[in-house]
Structure 1
Amino acid sequence: MLLTISTTASPATDLGFLLHKHPDRVQEFGQSFGTATVFYPEAGEDRCTVALLLEVDPVALVRSRGRNSPDFSLSQYVNDRPYAASSLLAVALADVFRTARAGRCKARPDLPGTALPLEIRIPALPCRGGPGLARELFEPLGWQVEAEAVLLDGAFPEWGDSRYVSLTLRGTLRLADALNHLYVLLPVLDDGKHYWVAPDEVDKLIRAGEGWLAAHPARGLITRRYLGRRWALARTALARLAELGDETEERLEPAVDEEAAPDETAATEAASVAASAEAEQEAEPGSAPPEDKPRPLNTLRREAVLATLEELGATSVIDLGCGQGELVGALLARPRFARVAGADVSSLALTIAARKLRLERMPDAKRARLTLFQGALTYTDRRFTGYDAAVLMEVVEHVDPPRLAALERVVFGHAKPQHVIVTTPNVEYNVRYEFLTGLRHNDHRFEWTRAEFQEWANRVAASYGYQVIFRPIGEEDAEIGSPTQMGVFSRD
């Protein structure tokens, strides 16, 4: 199976730095099921192409096959796995381009954050859902998609199309984002994996989907297929994604494909399970039954912040670490907030925020109330000043502990708003998240207990002349507290 990635950025050979693979070398990487080879068909200043060729060993594939793989002998040796892109290629890509997927480049640290013009080609990709599904999954991520169905046999066109597509993606994205899109979506399109889906796959999905999956309109479909339709794992992943994404209601696909449903009863039962999962997917652990349609935790958190800002009488607010702009949009929807600003260190997050807020179509009066800009919270910036209130909603836990003191000086000592609202996860509540291993998000540097958060907040308040009160967000457990904790700082 073959995958190629091309760029026309200047110089195009920077692709070699990003991938940590020299264009002048052919490199081989052993896999449990075969050999992955990386080479460059072309490497010039104007255009550079890298190819990942995966040669599958049928015997090794049988030995490493997943528990759900067919066990009749012929299919173990005669199948499409050596030729069509699938989870085998996704695993090889993750291994061979591990550093590039993480967005690291020691030789050129500026490169990973740069969006490049990319063209990705996969000549044979199993796609249960046809070319339309490929477009549905990739286009919301900024790709221009060419997906053409492959004929069963070119000599007999009357036989119709196969379940394979020839896929070409074009777009201007960070290479790390492009690789993570492929890592997640290749097995989703194939709707199958060559290995057993264990609970740690939830963490892999959340890590690879950071910054895009939570807001994807088909995140339900992606999550279920990626996790092998294991409903318990899918519900856990969707609950965690709900904390990271917006509150958009998504339509879940039926639980089985038409070709896989043996009869109408089985399809009906599966659809019922899917409907149940849809009702439960946004619920936080321990909340009301699905029929009560509990609201996602990120919605409760945003509403709690908005209510507190109104209670404090703030009319100008800056969202520090605004991400993709959910809170900013909610603030703009309330005319009482005459000035609204959003700042984030990620230019990509701000680009997504601008798109979701529809800046190009926003009425002039509303647009005049809004400011979006890039800025780091650990460096003083005069643009942070002059607001009644500042919000750090699920931000502090993303800061390395040694850098917290710098954030404190910037927000409480330099910007000095009248009020500061800080929300952060309560790590004690994590025991209520089934299958959660480690922290709630792979980018969290730490998560505080209630006592640790209060100790930090009281120290900061005393140091910078604030008073602080604490409030729970989400359903409160008598023993372990609420899922999110909030500190409300006000100047003396």
Structure 2
Amino acid sequence: MLFTLTYEPDGDVDATVLGYLLHKHPAKVQTFSAPVGDIHVFYPEATAERTTAAVLVEVDPIGLVRSKRFRGDAGALDHYVNDRPYVASSMLAVAIGTVFRTAMTGRSDSYPELAESPLPLRIDVPVVSTRGGEDDLVRRMFEPCGWDVVEQSIPLDPAYPDWGDSRYSSVTLSGRVRLADALRQLYVLLPVLDDTKHYWVGDDEISKLERAGEGWLADHPERELITRRYLVHQRSLLAQTADEDDAVRETPLRVHRADAVMQALRDAGAHRVVDMGCGPGALLSRLASDRSFTKIVGVDVSARSLERAARMLRLDAASDAERERIELLHGSVVYRDDRLRGYDAMVLMEVIEHVEPPRLRALEDAVFAGAEPASVIVTTPNAEYNALYPTLGSGGHRHDDHRFEWTREQFRDWADAASSRHGYTVEYRPIGEEDAMLGSPTQLALFRREVAA
């Protein structure tokens, strides 16, 4: 898949400054490795009058199929035979975020004024998808952002014009737009047009949308549609972004959840904490900002998540003392790990429901018998509350990777049994707005190890 970005100044500016603004040298072909495949950045044209940067993603379809994060279509053959290597999608968005991360922030030490100014730009995307079927979708997405849109439908087969058009188009965008905004709009809107993503989508997707949409999404007339598609129609995530009215946002459930966990840690008197299944670091960043936590350990089975957590925490630029205070470890919640023994508290925030039920006893052994922290905090969705999500089918889960979701009674049965077997007491707390009949959207259990008299 491919897109090109052309800068043709209308003044005395040398167009090759585009290389400085993108932080990619026009005289080099650069290749970057990513989970989706290889990303090539090169300049088909680099003159003072006009400079064009191109991004070509060489998709590795076999690697995607083997990846646990792959979100391919349901049919087994579709994993291998599909349009993914050619059509601009979330894979191209990932590539943009990978190679133009600094440019997306709008920072340029060499040309700060140009980085902050609208520039005459043209973006060409040879193949985009409009698989959702909404009328005039490309124009509805890009025109409110200041682009002139030229869309050309691609026929199913040029040799058989009677067959009509496919669901694909070639698109050219032209306008005076700040470069950082242009890249962030592509980052968000390409997967919106495609109406799918190739990877598992979690709570961190909301913060991605907030960052990439800063300055243009809030006033977009299709904001609701963009949000719904970007979050792949997941009701649990959409509920977190719901507004009280058009201007005032409710506190997202993820914030309520983190607040509840932080309060439970304080109530337990914890100073040395393990965040088990830490993901990209949402809770770790809160712990790090509170100096009452003297030792913080993040553990995850995903090395990529740990890399993202390290970037979020800026550990590469941290002092020696801070790197001693915060440690990231590769590990699993279902295996004993002597490195985790003896901490004040271990947090499993939205972790347990990702474990296959037959492995819950292994999780219980690793946490309560192996690590044996003074306190354990577990949060998990309340399945009864799912009835308040209108589009979540009967028996459906809030996340594709959830292996189960418990009712309040089921959660209490498991927690009571685990605490009894391992010498802990347990206290239950609701998280989020409670329904009189169905309870709260999220449930929390605070385990405390009993001290022998």
Q: Under TM normalisation by the shorter chain, which class is it? A: 0.5 to 0.7
Mapped to 2, the partners of 1:211 and 1:390 lie a distance apart of: 20
Mapped to 2, the partners of 1:292 and 1:320 lie a distance apart of: 33
Mapped to 1, the partners of 2:84 and 2:406 lie a distance apart of: 44
Q: 1:490 aligned to 2:441?
A: no
Q: Deviations over 1:348-402 (max 9, x none)?
A: 1111111111112334433321111111111111112120110000000111111
Q: 1:457 aligned to 2:415?
A: yes
Counterpart of 1:186 (choices 187, 190, 214) is: 190
Match of 1:116 in 2: none
Q: 1:355 aligned to 2:311?
A: yes
Counterpart of 2:296 (choices 324, 328, 340) is: 340
Q: 1:82 aligned to 2:74?
A: no
Cα contact 1:389–1:418 (8 A) shared by 2: yes
Cα contact 2:381–2:443 (8 A) shared by 1: yes
Match of 2:222 in 1: 229
The alpha-carbon distance between structure 1 residues 281 and 136, as it changes in their structure 2 partners (threshold 3 A), is same
Cα contact 2:341–2:372 (8 A) shared by 1: yes
Counterpart of 1:471 (choices 404, 415, 429) is: 429
* Cα shift at 1:467: 1.1
Match of 2:184 in 1: 136
In structure 2, list runs of 5 or more residues that go unmatched: 5-29, 39-57, 67-76, 87-125, 138-149, 156-164
Match of 2:271 in 1: 315
Alignment of 1:31-70 (within 5 A): 66=133, 68-69=135-136
Does the residue aligned with 1:80 lie in a helix, a strand or coil? strand
The alpha-carbon distance between structure 1 residues 17 and 432, as it changes in their structure 2 partners (threshold 3 A), is closer
* Cα shift at 1:223: 12
Does the residue aligned with 1:478 lie in a helix, a strand or coil? coil
Match of 2:241 in 1: 282
Match of 1:298 in 2: 254
Does the residue aligned with 1:390 lie in a helix, a strand or coil? strand
Mapped to 2, the partners of 1:461 and 1:289 lie a distance apart of: 43
Cα contact 2:294–2:325 (8 A) shared by 1: yes
Alignment of 1:192-203 (within 5 A): none
Does the residue aligned with 1:386 lie in a helix, a strand or coil? coil
* Cα shift at 1:303: 0.9
Mapped to 1, the partners of 2:332 and 2:84 lie a distance apart of: 40
* Cα shift at 1:432: 2.1
Cα contact 1:304–1:473 (8 A) shared by 2: yes
Cα contact 1:473–1:485 (8 A) shared by 2: yes
Mapped to 1, the partners of 2:64 and 2:229 lie a distance apart of: 32
Match of 2:109 in 1: none
Q: Deviations over 1:9-66 (max 9, x none)?
A: 7x99994742679xxxxxxxx99xxx96989xxxxxxxxxxxxxx999xxxx9xx994
AA matched with 1:409 = D
When normalised by structure 2's length, the TM-score is: 0.59
When normalised by structure 1's length, the TM-score is: 0.54
Mapped to 2, the partners of 1:439 and 1:488 lie a distance apart of: 24
AA matched with 1:336 = S
AA matched with 1:186 = L
Cα contact 2:342–2:374 (8 A) shared by 1: no
The alpha-carbon distance between structure 1 residues 394 and 38, as it changes in their structure 2 partners (threshold 3 A), is closer
* Cα shift at 1:127: 4.0
* Cα shift at 1:67: 5.6
Q: Deviations over 1:196-238 (max 9, x none)?
A: xxxxx6xx4596645863331455589989x993737846976
The alpha-carbon distance between structure 1 residues 229 and 415, as it changes in their structure 2 partners (threshold 3 A), is same
Counterpart of 1:440 (choices 384, 389, 398) is: 398
Q: 1:372 aligned to 2:328?
A: yes
Counterpart of 1:18 (choices 51, 63, 71) is: 63
Mapped to 2, the partners of 1:363 and 1:315 lie a distance apart of: 20
Q: Deviations over 1:447-466 (max 9, x none)?
A: 11111111111111111111
Does the residue aligned with 2:207 lie in a helix, a strand or coil? coil
Cα contact 2:265–2:345 (8 A) shared by 1: yes
Mapped to 1, the partners of 2:346 and 2:84 lie a distance apart of: 51
* Cα shift at 1:409: 0.7
Match of 1:249 in 2: none
Mapped to 2, the partners of 1:214 and 1:87 lie a distance apart of: 32
Does the residue aligned with 1:467 lie in a helix, a strand or coil? strand
Does the residue aligned with 1:469 lie in a helix, a strand or coil? strand
Does the residue aligned with 2:425 lie in a helix, a strand or coil? strand
Cα contact 1:317–1:387 (8 A) shared by 2: yes
In structure 1, list runs of 5 or more residues that go unmatched: 22-29, 40-53, 71-77, 91-123, 139-180, 194-200, 245-276
Mapped to 1, the partners of 2:61 and 2:410 lie a distance apart of: 45
Match of 2:380 in 1: 424
Alignment RMSD: 4.8
When structure 1 is superposed on structure 2, of 415-424 and 329-338 the one drifting more is 329-338
Cα contact 1:377–1:410 (8 A) shared by 2: yes
AA matched with 1:68 = D
Cα contact 1:214–1:242 (8 A) shared by 2: no
Does the residue aligned with 2:152 lie in a helix, a strand or coil? coil
Mapped to 1, the partners of 2:358 and 2:403 lie a distance apart of: 11
AA matched with 2:184 = E
